[in-house]
Amino acid sequence: MRTSSLLSLAWALALLASSSSLVSADVVEHTFEVANVTMTRLCRENVIAAVNGILPGPTINVREGDTIIVHAINNSPYNLTIHWHGIFQFMSQWADGPEYVTQCPILPGKKYTYKFNITAQEGTLWWHAHSSFFRAWVYGALIIRPRLGHSYPFPKPYKEVPIVLGEWWNANIIEVEEEATKFGNSQRLSDAYTINGLPGPLYNCSQNQTFRLRVRHGKTYLFRIINAALNEHLFFKIARHTFTVVAVDASYTNPYDTDVIMVAPGQTVDALLTANQAVGSYFMAATPYQTVNTSVVPVADTTTTGVVVYQGSTSKKPLMPTLPPLNDTKTANDFFLSITGLAGGPHWVPVPEVVDEHMFITIGIGLDFCDLQNAKCLGVGGFKMSANMNNESFVLPQGRGFSMLDSFYRNANKGVYTKDFPDQPPFVFDYTNPSYINDLSVAFAPKTTKVKTLKFNSTVQIVYQNNAIMGPENHPIHIHGFNFHVLAQGTGNYNASRDESKFNLKDPQIRNTVAVPYAGWSVIRFQANNPGIWLVHCHIEAHLPWGMAMAFEVENGPTPETTLPPPPPDLPTQC
């Protein structure tokens, strides 16, 4: 029997187990009202749009098998959609959330109810607005615990602690995006990073805006770390303490001990920490990792901090960890390459052995022509900044009447997208050669809305290859609707004859967002067992409007249970 058939059987059994255990499943219902509120950070008042008046928004706590219902009420002045980052959305594809892809936006004054089931997933995920930069304000944690009667595959922690890393602007983030889009340059840098919405005392006028965690000596805590920052990879450390990583992207891992955690935008890390140091207070800190030429893409090189305070401590001054430098690629790569999956653990899926579709996708920053009549664009050389995959710079189908998923469902494309995304780049070159930095002859890519069509249940293997055009960078690539195995990663140009021997087919990490290394490559593999339209994009937020995206069109399966269901009656349809 083919491995893909075995995986389909495993998925069917998981669904059967879910349906037969409904007695232990709940319906978890929330109302999310998105509206303007005034918040003060860094001694400045700023009007932002937030969920239920708080930042981050509400944490959703569920168990595997539960159903989530969220009534999203848009009382903000901006268009809104919400994405449930990492949720499979099997048979609830209309709830995935990216605007113009699976739905039209929820217009100001309107509402929409998201409903979906949590099946065969445990760990830390998150939710966020998927209306471009709006997610700087609208985001929160989504925590999935085991079903009642089931346990973690590691010792039960004394307490669980969500750590949501974000960014704060002393500005209207929608106006920041509009300015960057108009003039084609990198957007204004954030004024602070945050831990659970608070910048911490290293910034001016923020002594009283610090996240504090009180711990008991000898107890073990599960840190659920989410990188909700718009644009930056972040190192995370706690002075004099070490972690044991036990999950990434809601997939269990073999235990990995480390004193530093690297988390790319969109990723999550679950890590155990034992409070085993001298009674006192210790800074937790997050600081950026960035390698791209800062003249092309600047970086906010600042540090956010919180405080871990032991019960009984009289310390007035927390100890500060030694943080990696801004461009510490070795520490970042060491972390990513050290993670392996917990083969045989809860919800483990073996690596598919037979590959039906091979793709090689180059990713990188580029340029677009300036379209301003009476002003100069502010990107490199007076052009607009752009980005692409396989020399196709993706454009969301705004104003085309249908979302991409609606077009797929009706089999009525009407110019919403085309089905010719290439399996290979149009030309081969020495992708990571630094001589291509600022080489205008290879920097331009056409603006298109293209998808790759996949047969239901086909197995897809993708090589993501960074290129050096405009400068190499670590790109976090997120695939909606699927988890995937990360078989191997490396630096330089991928070479199958050399690098296939590095594939981990036994216990690779399973993720929904892979950080493709600086000047390097990643190989992933997944089974296309989820019909619909699924966005694939870089989770550095500036790179999605620049065009670093594409989509998969996964065809319907042979049964009603593997066919895209009809859209909900209240689905927004004004695109």
In this structure, the dihedral spanned by the alpha carbons of residues 378, 382, 387 and 391, taken in order and rounded to 10 degrees, is: 170
Residues 32-70: tens digit of each pLDDT: 999 999 999 999 999 999 999 999 999 999 999 999 999
Residue type, 80: L
The residue written with tokens 């922690």 in the block is 157
* DSSP character at residue 3: H
* DSSP character at residue 38: E
Look at residue 365 and give its three-state secondary structure: strand
Query: For position 15, what pLDDT does the model report?
Result: 44
- CB neighbour burial string for 234-260, b if at least 16 within 10 angstroms, e if fewer: bbbbbbebbbbbbbbbbbbbbebebeb
Strands 393-394 vs 447-448: parallel, antiparallel or unpaired = parallel
Query: For position 296, what pLDDT does the model report?
Result: 65
Query: For position 253, what pLDDT does the model report?
Result: 98
Structure tokens belonging to residue 541: 């937020």
* DSSP character at residue 441: G
15, exposed or middle or buried, with CB in 10 Å at 0-12, 13-18, 19+?
middle
In this structure, the dihedral spanned by the alpha carbons of residues 416, 419, 422 and 426, taken in order and rounded to 10 degrees, is: -60
Query: For position 132, what pLDDT does the model report?
Result: 80
Strands 82-85 vs 123-129: parallel, antiparallel or unpaired = antiparallel
452, exposed or middle or buried, with CB in 10 Å at 0-12, 13-18, 19+?
buried
Query: How confident is the prediction along the chain (575 residues), in pLDDT tens digits per residue?
Result: 344 444 444 444 444 444 434 446 899 999 999 999 999 999 999 999 999 999 999 999 999 999 999 999 999 999 999 999 999 999 999 999 999 999 999 999 999 999 999 999 999 999 999 998 999 999 999 999 999 999 999 999 999 999 999 999 999 999 999 999 999 988 899 999 999 999 999 999 998 999 999 999 999 999 999 999 999 999 999 999 999 999 999 999 999 999 999 999 999 999 999 999 999 999 999 999 988 766 667 788 999 999 999 999 998 899 999 999 999 999 999 999 999 999 999 999 999 999 999 999 999 999 999 999 888 899 888 999 999 999 999 999 998 989 999 999 998 867 899 999 999 999 999 999 998 887 888 999 999 999 999 999 999 999 999 999 988 889 999 999 999 999 999 999 999 999 999 999 999 999 999 999 999 999 999 999 999 999 999 999 888 889 999 999 999 999 999 999 999 999 998 89
Structure tokens belonging to residue 546: 């620049």
Cα atoms found within 13 Å of the Cα of residue 534, Cβ hemisphere only? 30
The count of other CB atoms within 10 Å of the CB of residue 411 is: 6
Residue of 445, 449, 447 whose CA lies nearest to 364 = 445
Query: For position 472, what pLDDT does the model report?
Result: 87
The helix (run of H) or strand (run of E) holding residue 179 is helix 173-183
| Chain mean pLDDT for the chain | 93
**Rounded Cα distance, 186 and 181, in Å:** 9
CB 462 within 8 A of CB 515: no
